[in-house]
Each structure stands twice: as structure tokens, then as C-alpha cells.
Amino acid sequence: MSEIKKDNTEEKILNAAQAVFIQKGMDGSRMQEIADHAGINKALVHYYFRTKQKLYEAIFRKVFKQIFPKIETFILSDQPIEEKLTIFIENYIDVLLKNPYLPTFILKEINRDPEFLASVLKSQGIHPNQIFEMFEREMEDGKIRKMDPRELLVNLLSLSIFPFAAKPLMQLMLFENDKKAYKQFLQNRKTTVQEFVLNSILLKDK
Amino acid sequence: MSEIKKDNTEEKILNAAQAVFIQKGMDGSRMQEIADHAGINKALVHYYFRTKQKLYEAIFRKVFKQIFPKIETFILSDQPIEEKLTIFIENYIDVLLKNPYLPTFILKEINRDPEFLASVLKSQGIHPNQIFEMFEREMEDGKIRKMDPRELLVNLLSLSIFPFAAKPLMQLMLFENDKKAYKQFLQNRKTTVQEFVLNSILLKDK
DNA sequence: ATATGATTTAACCAATTGGTTAAAAATAGA
DNA sequence: TCTATTTTTAACCAATTGGTTAAATCATAT
């Protein structure tokens, strides 16, 4: 039964590596710590993934996928723009509520090695163009205010992601380090961000 | 002239340390690299700052100050809210244009050691309350839409900071890695963010 | 000038760390 | 059961790295 056992340890390593890398980043993580976290010998980690770099890359790809929720469905639907944005924001914030360390990890590591990021983006097939075209259609239909669609996307991402990335700072500055209060705040943003954006871009039909 | 020489090397070390730490973070930086960058012997770095941790803390405090522009002036002025927000956003984006690595560094390190952040915040005397009170006054005067003032501050920070923190990703996804184009994009945001926010929160007087 | 104290350097050290290796243990096939 | 293969481990290694030390250089004051 080599298959089952193999999958099992490989998975244990991946889980442990994700936990450690996400918290401490590539530089701050130790192979020994990953092994300990997986409850195995350090040499086993090398046996399965050869080098720290290779293991890290596997984790980065795995984690990176999670931060791009199924955007396609939200663009291709023929719901009104209000609904689309609602879905986008809620989807995003929900993903981050479940994986609050994702933004920090991604931001940290895209700066550490941007070239590697490029290869991941390429292999992942990210097409923001679809989103831009959708935005532009809505603008031409007079549904939303005219603006650079890239601005709109960046604004949506900023408003959704930043509060997670800056969590320790915001929690401390705005909520006296009350963890629950800040989590509730993030929850609420599913609606407040939506309102904030819609109020800004929606054109009332005359 | 021991004083002059001392100040000189100490400053050289601080500058070198800032450059290195900001790019590579605490874990990714090497004392040797800092010494090389300053053009001195590694032992000198220890002679002036004893440990890496102490040097890092000095840099963190120094850098942290820069990311909090003189907020006081912008709150205490009696200009209309439109002007205040304009000043806030322009001020912020200008600071970041000059120090584009700041956001990444801060976000990285506040997650690495949140307790240290707490001590820095305390010693720095950050009072978001002043800002909140100003926002609340504007709401009660019917100038801007009523909302949780913390939401508004977080939104402003998100929109201003995130595009810098996520620069490699955004530059790659939205501008085919065209550095100048992205810089221009960030420049433009001094006005587009302002419009975006004002459109959202400003109440037209009837 | 030279004694004194501060600054700077080269050489060194101990601990950490990514990675290897050889042998042991587990597994599967005959 | 016996053999071959895969999985796991303990021990080890070389390189890196933060930090120390003792000697050298420099500046200053007497």
C-alpha cells in the first residue's frame, strides 16, 4: 500500500508547510519546523520535495489559487452590476475570513521574488481583461460612472484585501486589540464595502 | 572630531540598514549585507547597535514614522471636507511614491511581530480618535453620508496603500510589467481615489 | 610627542540550517 | 518466506550567520 502511505505523508508535509510558510514566509521558515509540524523526520521532507525552494513553490502555487476565487462565474452571469459586485466582494471577504493569513503571505512573497510570481500568474491563466470588458459594458450602458476599469478593480481589491493584510495594525489602532470586534468589523465589510463602492459608481437612472 | 565621525558612520549604518531591511525584511536581511552596503566592517555595525534586533527596531521606528504623515494639520484645518480628504490622500500617496517599499515592509513586519508593533504605536502616540471625531462632525453637519468612521478611515488607507503593497502583482496583471505606466497609474490615483471617495460619501446639499 | 580613549578591522567562534547519506524499517511481490 | 523496493530515520556535513575579541588605527588633550 505504498500509494496510500505516500499520499498521506506528502499531504501531511504540504499541510505543515502551508501552515508554517504562510505564517513566517520563505525566509522565516525552517525545514525542521515543517517536519516537526508534520510529525516526521526532516529528511523525509527533503525526500518528498528535495529542496526548500521547491516545497515553497508548491505551497505558493497552492495558496495563490485560493486568493483568486472563481471570478469567471461572477463576470459571466447576466445579473445587474449591483449583484455582480456584491457577489465579488462577499466571495472575496469570505475567502479571506477563512484564510486570514493569505493576504500577508502573498504580499510578502510577491515582493520577495516578483519573477517567480510572473511564472505563477502565467501558468494560472489570470485574465483581468474579462473583468475590464464587463466594467466597460456597464459604463457604456450608463449603469455606472465612467472611469478607468483598472481603477475600479484595484479599488475593489484594495477595499477587500487591505484590512486583512493590515490586521494587527488596524485591530490595535481601531479596536484596542479586540480580536472578536475586528473579526466582526471584517464581517460587516461584506455590506459596507459594497455600499461604499455602489454609492460611488452607480448612476441613478433619470 | 570624534563626534562628527561617529554621527557619520552611525548614519551610514542607519541608511544602509533601512535600505536592506526595507527590501528584505528582518529575516531576509544579513548583517554582512548591511555592513557592505554601508562600506564598513561588519563588527562596526555591532559596535554601534549591538544586535540585529536592536538595529532592526531602530529602523522600524524610523520607517514607521514616515507612514504616518502629519495627520494633525489635515484634521485641525477648518477647510471643507473635500479639501481635507484631498490633502490626506495626496499627502499619503506622495509619501508612498517617494518610499514605495514602505507599505510592504510595514505590512510584513507588523505580522511578524505584532507585540513590537504595539509598543511602537504606543510610543508614537497615534490618536485616530481625532480623525473619527472630525468625520462624525461632518456627518452630523450633513456634509457626508453617515457611516462607521472607522470604515471610512480603513477605506482611505486601503485605497491609498494597497496599490503600493501589491505593486509587483498589479504591475504585472494590469500593465504588463510596464514600470513607468504603473507609476503613472499611482500618480493618477491622487485624483481618482479622491473622486471615488467623494462620490461615495459626499451628500449634495438640497 | 605621547598617553588616553574612541573607532575600525581581521580573525575567529558557536549555533543554526539546508541538505546528504547510509542504514533500518516497512511494504509488496514472488 | 524470501527478496526487492520504497519509506523513514539518525547521524552527519558544509555553509551561513550573528556575534565576539584582540589588536590596530585614529583623534585628542596634555
Cα A109 from chain centroid (whole Å): 13
Protein-contacted positions of strand D (CB under 7 Å):
6-11, 16-22, 27-28
Least confident range from A32-36, A64-68, B59-63: namely: A64-68
Q: C-alpha cell of A95?
A: 475567502
| Nearest Cα residue to A19 out of A41, A39, A44, A47 | A39
DSSP string, chain B: -HHHHHHHHHHHHHHHHHHHHHHHHHHH--HHHHHHHHTS-HHHHHHHHSSHHHHHHHHHHHHHHHTS--HHHHHHS-S-HHHHHHHHHHHHHHHHHH-TTHHHHHHHHHHH-HHHHHHHHHHHT--HHHHHHHHHHHHHTTSB----HHHHHHHHHHHHHHHHHTHHHHHHHHHTT-HHHHHHHHHHHHHHHHHHHHHHHBPPP-
| Domains of chain A by start residue, with CATH | 2-60 (1.10.10.60), 67-201 (1.10.357.10)
With b for 16 or more beta-carbon neighbours within 10 A and e for fewer, the B139-165 pattern comes to: beeebbeebebbbbbbbbbbbbbbbbb
pLDDT, residue A206, reads: 44
Which of A61-65, B97-101, B181-185 is most confident? B181-185
B80-136 confidence digits (pLDDT tens):
999 999 989 998 899 999 988 889 999 988 888 888 888 888 887 778 888 999 999
Give me the residues near strand C, CB below 7 A.
Answer: A 1-2, 4-5, 29-32, 42-43, 46, 50-53; B 2, 5-6, 8-9, 40-44, 47
Least confident range from A34-48, A148-162, B53-67, B68-82: namely: B68-82
The overall average pLDDT reported for chain A is: 90
- Is some CB atom of chain A closer than 8 A to the CB atom of B203? no
| A128:B167 CB<8 A | no
Nearest nucleotide to the CA of B53, by C1', is D18
Q: How far is B8 from chain A (nearest CA, A)?
A: 31
Mean pLDDT value across residues B170-183: 95
At residue A192, the 3 state secondary structure works out as helix
The span from the CA of B91 to the CA of B70, in Å, is 9
Which DSSP helix (H) or strand (E) runs through A83?
A: helix A81-98
Q: In a mutagenesis test of the B interface, which of A20, A92, A108, A113 is the best target, namely the one with the most B β-carbons within 10 Å?
A: A108
- pLDDT bucket at A160, cuts 50 / 70 / 90: very high
Among chain A residues, the shortest Cα distance to B120 is held by A169
A11 or A116, which is more confident: A11
The Å distance, CA of A43 to C1' of C29, is 27
pLDDT, residue B4, reads: 45
| B109 and B25 Cβ atoms separated by less than 8 Å | yes
Q: How far is B159 from chain A (nearest CA, A)?
A: 6
| A162:B185 CB<8 A | no
Q: For B197, phi and psi rounded to 5 degrees?
A: -70, -45
DSSP string, A2-26: HHHHHHHHHHHHHHHHHHHHHHHHH
Q: How many contacts does A have with B, using Cβ atoms within 8 A?
A: 144
- Is some CB atom of chain B closer than 8 A to the CB atom of A121? yes
Write the single-letter amino acid at B149: P
pLDDT, residue A6, reads: 56
- pLDDT bucket at B3, cuts 50 / 70 / 90: very low
Neighbours of B107 (CB within 10 A): 26
- pLDDT bucket at B6, cuts 50 / 70 / 90: low
